[in-house]
Amino acid sequence: MPSLLPPRCRAGAVSRWVGTGLGLLISATIACSKPASDAAPPAAPATDTASPAPPTETISSAPRIVFLGDSLTAGLGVAASEAYPAVVGERLKQEGRDFEIVNAGVSGDTSAGGLRRLDWSLQGNVRVLVIALGANDGLRGLPVDELRRNLAAIIERAQQRGIHVVLAGMEAPPNFGDIYTRRFREVYADLARTYRVSFIPFFLADVAGHPALNQADGIHPTSEGQRLIADRMLKIITPLLDESATR
């Protein structure tokens, strides 16, 4: 799925900012869906894009930072060098920190898709794993318990290898009802507490809802929006790199 929204929904998405602070990711979904009750939505069929084949190149021993996500991480609509993982890598390089950056973002991926490709995404000397998954789970109304299980499995497998984890929270669209929206949000906070991982409550904070920071679809950040996300990531990642260097 190249975009988080079908083409027919994009035109009205940009103008329907509802002022909730969750950004156009939420309002765009309202524009494309009928209101629902507070009951959790029925399980939707899994429609993940096929996970790409694992890379075949030789993996170096250099320390790595892996960003596991969807189109928001892949940098849909901007140059590869402008996606936030690349910006993080460039900033670290300017600071004299030599880390390989692995952008493991796949457009349309859900938490289940991220889990399926986790093992080969974590090849090499991975020091930090950033998990930025769940936006597509929420947009499709997939079961919250599945989101929790998938993210928990990713965190556990990373921690078993001694990898620092950064969990980036996502928001579900409110058209699925208050209960679903609240339970979806709580998954991230609960997992962050349970596994004691670094936590960003909302991945698109200060970016979603600002037209100048988002592309025409109202969902995917512009290069400037990507830089703001990178700024937030660096504040979380840098202390973890200092800690890993002492091991």
Residues 30-58: tens digit of each pLDDT: 333 333 333 444 434 344 444 555 555 56
**pLDDT value, residue 57:** 59
User: Which of 48, 70, 109, 217 is an active site residue?
Assistant: 217
Q: CATH number of 61-245: 3.40.50.10490, 3.30.70.360, 3.40.50.1110, 3.40.50.80?
A: 3.40.50.1110
**pLDDT value, residue 43:** 39
Copy the structure tokens of residue 18. Answer: 């509802």
**pLDDT value, residue 126:** 97
Please indicate whether residue 217 is annotated as part of the active site.
Answer: yes
User: Which of 70, 121, 164, 220 is an active site residue?
Assistant: 220
**pLDDT value, residue 245:** 61
**pLDDT value, residue 54:** 54
Please indicate whether residue 145 is annotated as part of the active site.
Answer: no
Q: What are the extents of the domains in the chain?
A: 61-245
Please indicate whether residue 71 is annotated as part of the active site.
Answer: yes
Distance between CA atoms of residues 203 and 235, nearest Å: 13
Residue 86 carries which side chain, given as an amino acid letter?
A
Burial 173-198 (b: 16+ CB within 10 A, else e): bbbbbeebbebbbebbeebbeebebb
Q: Which residues of the chain, if any, have pLDDT below 50?
A: 1-3, 5-50
CB 194 within 8 A of CB 163: no
Q: Which of 133, 210, 207, 144 is nearest to 168 (CA)?
A: 133
Main-chain phi, psi angles of 105, to 5 degrees: -90, 135
Predicted TM-score of the model (pTM): 0.80
**pLDDT value, residue 9:** 41
**pLDDT value, residue 60:** 78
User: Which of 27, 71, 111, 121 is an active site residue?
Assistant: 71
